[in-house]
Structure 1
Amino acid sequence: MDHTDRELLTGGNMDPVLRVGDTVRRTAGPWTPAVHRLLRRLNAVSFSEAPRPLGLDEENREILTFIPGEVIADLPPAELWSPALLKDAAAMLRRFHEATAPLIPDKGPWRSATHHPVEVICHNDFAPYNLILRNGRVSGVIDFDMASPGSRLWDLAYLAYRLAPFAEDAVGLEPNRDGDRETRLKLLIEAYGVNYSISEVLEVAAERLDELAEFTDQRAVTTGRSDFTEHAAMYRRDAQRLRTKHGS
């Protein structure tokens, strides 16, 4: 079948992502049925911020609806680090988790490992590069292929790492304008709506980065990409800083 209006989308570090008209095509795998069950569940409970699954195409790629808007990681710092955007993201994560809780008996297979205690289906990459801004609000979340059962905190801690932010490669945060990192972390926890301590969030974020570093090293070997090796080293440095910060 001949498709017009094709565009190779940015991101897609795991697999190529192609926009075709109002749809997105990406590599399917054994995890795809579980991801599509998740997306259908979200659609059924009116979580409209996620794409809808439309099956597979003739090249055995999954077909998803395209979420219009701007990836928030591409925003200038004054917008990216807005406290309002941070609260939007945390509130969306909470609604996503509430919608997925009934699916936790789903054994997949999922592409990512399960992380205990299992409370919800985690996105596992709920971060600025997968969040979409439209009309000044966080209005979409994409790239669900790494989803799997896990704890609320597993997802929230990674969002905190990326949006508080504690990542070494985060630039442009101005405490006088945006709030300092600890204040922003408290705001994120409050907006999510579960009374986690700062220490709990940082501890799990460090664990998340340990796992991410190992995974990224494996990707470097598989792909031969030196940037993955550099990213893995950054994750380990950041994990150590987080552990120093909360005294473990």
Structure 2
Amino acid sequence: MDEVILTGGNMMPVVRIGDTVRRETGPWTPAVHALLDRCEAAGVEGVPRARGVDERGREVLSFVPGDVLADAAAEILWSRDVLVEAARLMRRIHDAGAGLVGAPLSWRAPAHAPAEVICHNDFAPYNLLMSGGTLAGAIDFDFASPGPRLWDVAYLAYRIAPLAEDAPGFDPERFGSPVARVGELVTAYGADWSATEVRAAAAARLDELAAFTEDRAADTGRADLAVHAVMYRRDAGLLRD
């Protein structure tokens, strides 16, 4: 069957063949597949299913249909319903994979203490899918690793509350203030962290992301990554202020 290159990935080529997605494997692949298997066993919808490795050594995942949330109109991207759905999907994924904490698995991203669940580590609009006006799923689990629930929730808040300066089309008059939206997100997830705790965790997450992005910029020579790293450090400082 024909291979169709899927756009949007920053790390490695991703192709679609029929109703499957293929990408390069790494030492982390068995851990990611174990997480996806846990999600499948728990009945978590909208998450890729691990289907082994193909004849070229690429992992095989089920294709999750939908349109990328980051590309949606502002009315959808900043919808409070979508915010709530995203928080609830994250909670289902966390609960499904929590039993893997402490398992002898190799993860691509570093673990963070206290390790409560397996964090997605990039749960954001560019990895969330929409279909028929509702959240359809989440993709790209390659950087999952053990960590605290708040670590993942704080990054989602950074992207969707939003706490980021890069928030095209966001209007607090129409969609609610970021502080109020953080509260809605935390409540939908089923926790009781304060906005201050979320901001502090998001700032720490951005420090790590900035360092990672600076290294990627140096390795690839991509100027856009260097610009993103500067923004992450600036946003981290603003969150601490």
TM-score for both structures, normalised by structure 2: 0.98
Aligned to 1:219: 216
Distance in structure 2 (CA, Å) of the matches to 1:222 and 1:18: 23
Which structure 1 residue ranges, 5 or more long, are not aligned?
A: none
Q: Deviations over 1:116-165 (max 9, x none)?
A: 00000000001111111112211211000000000000000000000001
Q: Over aligned residues, Cα RMSD in angstroms?
A: 0.9
Aligned to 2:131: 134
TM-fit CA distance, 1:107? 3.3
State how 1:52-201 maps to structure 2 within 5 Å: 52-201=49-198
Ranges of 4+ aligned residues in structure 1 off by more than 6 Å? none
TM-score for both structures, normalised by structure 1: 0.95
TM-fit CA distance, 1:58? 2.0
SS at match of 1:233: helix
Which structure 2 residue ranges, 5 or more long, are not aligned?
A: none
Identity of matched residues, %: 56
Distance in structure 2 (CA, Å) of the matches to 1:217 and 1:174: 30
TM-fit CA distance, 1:102? 1.1
Q: Which moved more, 1:113-122 or 1:44-53?
A: 44-53
SS at match of 1:84: helix
State how 1:30-69 maps to structure 2 within 5 Å: 30-69=27-66
Q: Deviations over 1:19-76 (max 9, x none)?
A: 1111111110000011111111110111122101111112211110000011111101
Distance in structure 2 (CA, Å) of the matches to 1:176 and 1:10: 33
TM-fit CA distance, 1:211? 0.2
TM-fit CA distance, 1:205? 0.1
